[in-house]
Amino acid sequence: MQVNPGIFKAYDIRGIYPTELNEDVAYLIGRAFVSFLQVDQVIVGRDMRISSPAIFEAVTRGLTDQGADVTDIGMVSTDQYYYACAKLGLAGMMVTASHNPAQYSGFKMVRQMPYLLSGDQGIQDLRRLVEQEVFPTPTRKGTMKPLDLNEQFVDYVLSLVDVAPLQARAAAGNPLRVIADTGNGMVGPALQAIYSRLPIVFEGMFLEPDGTLPNHGLDPLQPENRAELQARVLAEGFDIGFLFDGDGDRFFAVDDRAVFISGDFLTAIMGQYLLERYPAAKILYDVRASWAVPDLIRAKGGTPLMERVGHAFIKRRMASEDAVFAGEVTGHYYFKDFFYADSGILPSLLLMELLAKRDVRMSDLLKELEAKYYISGEINSKVADVQGRLDALAAHYADAKVERLDGVSVTYDTWHFNVRGSNTEPLIRLNLESIASPAEMEEKREEVLAIIRG
């Protein structure tokens, strides 16, 4: 079948519905999934997108026509889907396009938790099978049955949290006040069920899953998608504000000043806190991260390990190293206790536990980091020749420590940066940091951008 090869990405399948990814393509992907993995049982969940029921119907028809039995876990967040795959020990397909705009559809695919299909491990094999449309003849037609694991998921997530500090704070007449915006994505129902059982003051925004996205987009990294939450944190005096992406595997927060917290700083803070529970443990971070992460992990006696960007790589490395936690600057947080998978809800609970136990304001934890680590945030540039620009940067900064684990990483004594190509667009992404001064960060940022955009 003629299919746009661009929908088969590094970590998942994603494309615009119905031009790039439609029912015919989804049906063949279902057949290819069973043929490639040689499985006879598959878990399938879906998000709230308008196209998801049709894509779900087509892919499950492909799965059952190819001889696999399907367990339909319904409309769920991606961390609920990971929980189901881990709990039942089965392969899975989640119909979702994550934080992409409403017109997209896609699949996140589990081989067996925590191992996902990725570009170099399975996704390109699926593409070839779909293009060839040649599948083994099945010996039987698969069946379909529904399974609701929502309550089990809520119980399991709550079992990972120490509620005693939250109870003590509430008993003292000062419960934590939290506001959360789920953007009409998939997190709302589970979040409500979990937070209703905790001794905090909880306010929700846009908790109802709605694929028309009536309020704002699904990516909290875009400032316009968090503006309303930030305004309410300030106006109503909340201790912290939480945001989740569309399918719920990413988490973001704003502090009591309504300042958006970088993923590097959240990784460093949560990593240090988890080392109290797991002394001398290993913690992973990605190549883009601030030096705050390895510095704070080492200071607490842990072992920081750098890994390339992407959940397929992080999960694989976590499992092989038996790491307890990993964080990516883009809001993915992974936990050994959650099958080495990423969850949006778990880090929100961990942060509340930390604030209550230490009896601090989130802004106090951040001020220490903001006074030492000056980070640019991720800056995207459109370029015609991504590899050419990467090579030019490596040559220009040849007197530094240059690494190519993922894109190009350049390290000097007081500043460093990582530049990598996007997996989906002709973009270069820059993350730069100085520990000397904000002025050095700005000067070096402009210097590197001039080479990138030269």
Q: Give alpha helix (H) positions in 110-212.
A: 123-132, 150-159, 164-171, 188-195
Instruction: Report the distance separating Cα 88 and Cα 90, nearest Å.
Output: 5
* Residue whose entry in the numeric block shows the structure tokens 């038996």: 322
CA angle 191, 196, 200 (to 5 degrees): 100
DSSP 387-421: HHHHHHHHHHTTTSEEE-SSSEEEE-SSEEEEEEE
Bridge partners (DSSP) of residue 166 are none
In Å, the largest CA–CA distance within the chain is 68
Bridge partners (DSSP) of residue 381 are 428
DSSP 49-78: -TTHHHHHHHHHHHHHHTT-EEEEEEE--H
Q: Would you say 29 and 37 are in contact if contact means Cβ atoms under 8 Å apart?
A: no
Reduced DSSP (H G I as helix, E B as strand, rest coil) percent helix, strand, coil of the chain, to 5:
40, 25, 35
| Angle of the 438-452 helix axis to the 386-396 helix axis, nearest 10 | 130
Element at 179 (helix H, strand E): strand 177-181
φ/ψ bin of 359: left (φ > 0), alpha (ψ from -120 to 50), beta (otherwise): left
Instruction: Report the distance separating Cα 269 and Cα 262, nearest Å.
Output: 11
Q: Identify whether 196 is a catalytic site residue.
A: no
**Cα torsion angle, 387, 388, 393, 399, sign:** positive
Element at 334 (helix H, strand E): strand 333-335
Six token digits for residue 219:
């990516």
For 410, phi then psi, to 5°, come to -120, 130
Catalytic residue among 35, 51, 98, 343: 98
CA 193 remoteness from chain centre? 21
Q: Which positions are catalytic?
A: 98
